[in-house]
Chains A and B, each alone.
Chain A
Amino acid sequence: MKQRYLWLLALLSVLTLMTTSTLAIAGETMTSGHVEIGISGMDTDDSPARVNEYVNTRSENGLSLAPSLSLESFTEGSSIGLDADIMGPRDQKIGLEFDASRIFKFGFDYQALEHWKDHDNLQHMGATFRGDVAGNQPRVTSDATVGQLGTDTIAEANARYALEMDNDYIVTRRETEAETSLTLPALPNITFHAGMRIETRDGIEQATTASKCSQCHVQANAKSIAERTEDFTLGATGKFGKLTVEYDYLTRDFTENGANANYNYLKAGSVRAGVLDSDQFIYWGAQDYKVTPDSGKDTHSIKARYDASCGSTLSAAYVNSEVESDKAGELGSYSLDTNSLTSEYESFFLKGATKIGGLRLSVRGGTYEIDGPEYYITLPDRDDFTTVEIQTFANPEHVESAESREVTEFGIDGVYRLAKGTTLRLGYEYEDVDRVEEALGETETHTFKVAVKSRLNKQLSGRLSYKYQDIDDPFHGEDVTGIAQVTGATDPLYPGLAWFLKENAQFVDDNPASGAVYYWNSVYPGRELDATSEPDSVHEAKFSATWAPSSSMAATVFTRVRMEENESVKYKQDTFVPGVSFYYAPSSSMNLTMAYTFNKQETENQMCVGWYHG
């Protein structure tokens, strides 16, 4: 156990003793609960990775001591509760609650859980590259310093592949939370509160990367995970007549102390148009990959609510948050004009609700802004290529975060009582997302909602709702796929095929660079279609009905149908989710529950594959 936990456990012990003694002194104490000691056991055959994915009791076969304790104790105005459930070394829950006359409250939770992580065998990476000249694909290694195509023999690569496949990728997550609140008798309308949360993740995960041209040279290594997230909160809630105001401050610190996965990226040896392929790379050689930077976050939030005597309420919320992560470039690859990337979030929202006769009306609106990282990146290897006239890259190049945006939201909901036990709900929502990066566009969404909820009689009730969304310019990539699909030549014998035929173009060795056809000056700029999995229209209907003929029987049927599409990119997705649940208690000593859900989803989307030079 980390040293940093010790002060917390010491505090808990003192508090527990104080509570017990205080309760005993204050008056008659009522205590109940149970204590249990037991043995848990687990055994698996074949692969445990899916059947025991979220580890039940333990990840390895064997027996564990499994004690549990539940305790509740009450006295005049005060209480203490303790729940501990230990099923194995990494399947544990502990909870403690303490209330001293509503003046001081303390809550503590601890839980530990193991998770088997995905372990890709990379066989699918070799789907289109089985004819590689140097041997079978993929080439996988768990050794960070070798794995060079050309220096590995096939046997060595296969041996490393087998070694990597034997790794058990398991991560243990532990979370410790504590919350306290203090309401002084001399200041009864103000409650001070503070809290902490410590989350750790330890173990190993699979880290995958690839060298040079596409997925020919795939590498997977074990990446050590040693993450720690510390949250501390401090705030106060004040009640001043009909006005309630709450302020909270959160500071978060994230650190990753695990060793990074490392790979010796391959250096291509071919020469095209008089230029070494390796000179076209922005990095090669030994590099860390799948690096998680350390980061910090500070958030201030203020919420206010005013409850008017007529049943109307007005609430407002303001949030300001700043995230900073360490990022200073990578030696040998690139450098940045900063040592950290910062992102600031600021939001302000208002909500009002009132009742006018049989109509309950609520209106809400607000705006938030994300000011994401903005920096210059320098790629030294680009400068080595400046003698070639097709070089059009800026170096250093300005980068604007795709997160940066201004968002405006507005919504109105009305609930009208049509008859006894029957209500009609109508709603409208508007959202405008204006991204700073102009190429990503401005998305405008209109949402219309209608729902009827009814209790027809004591036995039968139900709800039916429908939602329609009209989305203008959804998040998408412009001209990111479909080389030559708009202005190129098409082949009538092969629908879907299109190409450019460039005269006076060169692609072979020993030619001058002028007129040479490369991925970046011809192939990539030749992409003419947009791509997205975001819809521009959505229809969604939900239905549920419950029949409860008696207190010992109830049946519910429900279904959800969602249809979304975006014709401009040939995207379409239909979702159908019906289900039923049933409860029956034929006698006071027996009850049965049954639930069934079916989920079917069909998706269509246009996909393109480029072809050039083999």
Chain B
Amino acid sequence: MVQSTQFGSYCTVSEYESTVNTLSLNVNVQATEQLMLNAGVTYNKAEDEWNWDFADRPTLVFTGATTITGTANPGYDTEVQNNLIDTYSDLSYEQYEFTAGGTYNFSEAFYTSASFTYDIFDMQEEYVYGDEDGTAYYGYVGFGYNF
């Protein structure tokens, strides 16, 4: 029996598209002579998508002393499996940050300040790190003295 083997490659152009939107709004208000207020909103939206399409491959040709034609193990490299690869690179998330705070002057020297921030991270695709949805609350209150 004539011995032979076959090997090669499949090449195609892959496409990757990424979009990011970033919006921020901030306002500062001197509400009264003693009270200064501020507030802000930040919004991010990011989406990434990778497209890499495979065709299935012809049957490998193997002829050897102890084998017959077409005994390639198809378990590792099927078209269906290869077309799963790009789905793990799909990225989609939105991020919101709301902040509000203020300073109240009891006198020229003494004052108090406080702030509160609410963050949201919302994923629509798990990407490669799994589900990373989360929310966070940050607060601060303090008393100060100007000199």
**A560 CB to nearest chain B CB (Å):** 13
Say yes or no: A42 contacts B136, CB within 8 Å: yes
Q: How many residues of B are counted as interface, with CB atoms below 8 angstroms from the partner's CB atoms?
A: 84
Residues of chain A contacted by B20 (CB below 8 angstroms):
597-600
A481 and B12 CA atoms in complex are apart in Å by: 12
**Contacts of B4 on A, CB cut-off 8 Å?**
501-505
Q: Which residues of A have CB within 8 Å of B52?
A: 607
Q: Are B57 and A507 in touch, CB under 8 angstroms?
A: no
CB of A552 within 8 Å of the partner chain: no
- Most chain-B Cβ atoms within 10 A of its Cβ — which of A31, A588, A599? A599
Q: Mark A38-62, 1 if CB is under 8 A from B, else 0.
A: 1111111111111110001100000
Residue of B nearest to A523 (CB): B7
Cα separation A598 to B29 with both chains bound (whole Å): 28
Contacts of B27 in A (CB 8 A): 590-593
**Minimum C-beta distance from A59 to chain B (A):** 11
A127 touches B129 (CB 8 A): no
CA distance A43 to B144 in the complex (A): 25
Segment 116-147 of B: residues with Cβ below 8 Å from A: 117, 119-121, 123, 128-147
**A160 to chain B: closest CB distance in Å?**
17
A497–B57 contact, CB under 8 A?
A: yes
Q: A52-B136, A596-B23, A600-B19 are in contact. Are A609 and B54 (CB under 8 A)?
A: yes
Contact B144 A35 (CB under 8 A): yes
Contact among A32, A87, A123 for B130, CB-based, below 8 A: A123
Considering only residues 38-84 of chain B, those with a C-beta below 8 Å from chain A are 52, 54-58, 60-62, 64-67, 72-77, 81-82, 84
- Asked if A529 and B77 make an inter-chain contact with CB atoms under 8 angstroms apart, the answer reads no
Shortest CB-to-CB span from A545 to chain B, Å, is 20
Secondary structure at the B interface, as helix, strand, loop or mixed, is strand
Say yes or no: A124 contacts B144, CB within 8 Å: no
Confirm or deny: A614 has a beta carbon within 8 angstroms of a beta carbon on chain B.
Answer: yes
CB distance from B143 to the nearest CB of A (A): 6
Counting chain B CB atoms within 10 Å of each CB, the highest count among A491, A501, A607 belongs to A607
- Cα distance A35–B14 in the bound complex, in angstroms: 58
**Cα–Cα distance between A545 and B94 once the two chains are bound (Å):** 29
Residue among B65, B81, B84, B140 with most chain A CB within 10 A = B140
Render A126-157 as a binary contact track against B, CB cut-off 8 A, 1 for contact: 01111100000000000000000000000000
Task: Identify A40's interface contact among B7, B24, B77, B138, CB under 8 A.
Answer: B138
B65 touches A508 (CB 8 A): yes
Within the assembled complex, what's the spacing in Å between the Cα atoms of A610 and B82? 12
| A603–B60 CB distance below 8 A | no
Whether the pair A507, B64 counts as a contact (CB closer than 8 A) is yes
Cross-chain contact A497 with B55 (CB below 8 angstroms): yes
Number of A-B contacts (CB under 8 A): 308
Given A38-B142, A609-B54: A502 and B6 interface contact (C-beta under 8 Å): yes
Contact for B81 among A48, A130, A523, CB less than 8 A: A130
Kindly state the separation between the CA atoms of A396 and B72 in the bound complex, as whole angstroms.
36
B5 within 8 A of A: yes
CA of A483 to CA of B95, assembled, Å: 43
For the complex, give the distance between the alpha carbons of A510 and B128 in Å: 42
A40-95, CB < 8 A from B: 40-52, 56-57, 66, 68, 87
Set of chain B residues within 8 Å of A500, measured between Cβ atoms: 6-8
Least distance between A557 CB and chain B CB atoms (Å): 15
Task: Given the known inter-chain contacts A46-B135, A51-B134, please indicate yes or no for A491 contacting B58, CB distance below 8 A.
Answer: yes
Q: Smallest Cβ distance from B14 to chain A, in angstroms?
A: 5
- Given the known interface contacts A128-B84, A483-B9, A494-B58, the answer about A591 and B16 at a Cβ–Cβ threshold of 8 Å is no
Q: Which of A113-121, A313-321, A363-371, A421-429 contacts B (4 or more CB under 8 A)?
A: A113-121
Among B7, B18, B26, B129, point to the contact of A517 (Cβ < 8 A): B7
Could you tell me the distance in whole angstroms from the C-beta of B28 to the nearest C-beta in chain A?
5
**CB proximity to B under 8 Å, residues A451-502:** 481-485, 488-489, 491, 494-502
Would you give 24 A-B contacts (Cβ < 8 Å), ordered by A? A32-B147, A36-B142, A39-B140, A50-B95, A51-B135, A56-B117, A118-B129, A121-B128, A128-B76, A128-B77, A482-B11, A502-B4, A502-B5, A504-B4, A506-B64, A596-B22, A597-B20, A598-B21, A600-B18, A601-B18, A603-B17, A605-B13, A611-B8, A611-B10
Binding site for B on A (CB under 8 A): 31-52, 56-57, 66, 68, 87, 118-121, 123-124, 127-131, 481-485, 488-489, 491, 494-511, 515, 517, 522-523, 526-527, 529, 570, 588-614
* B contact residues vs A (CB 8 Å cutoff): 2-31, 52, 54-58, 60-62, 64-67, 72-77, 81-82, 84-85, 87-89, 93, 95, 113, 117, 119-121, 123, 128-147
Closest A-B pairs by Cβ, 6 of them: A38-B142, A499-B8, A614-B73, A124-B88, A612-B7, A36-B144
Extra A-B contacts (17), CB below 8 Å, given A36-B144, A600-B19, A606-B13: A35-B145, A44-B137, A45-B134, A48-B134, A51-B95, A52-B136, A489-B8, A494-B56, A506-B3, A590-B30, A595-B22, A596-B24, A598-B22, A602-B16, A603-B17, A613-B60, A614-B75
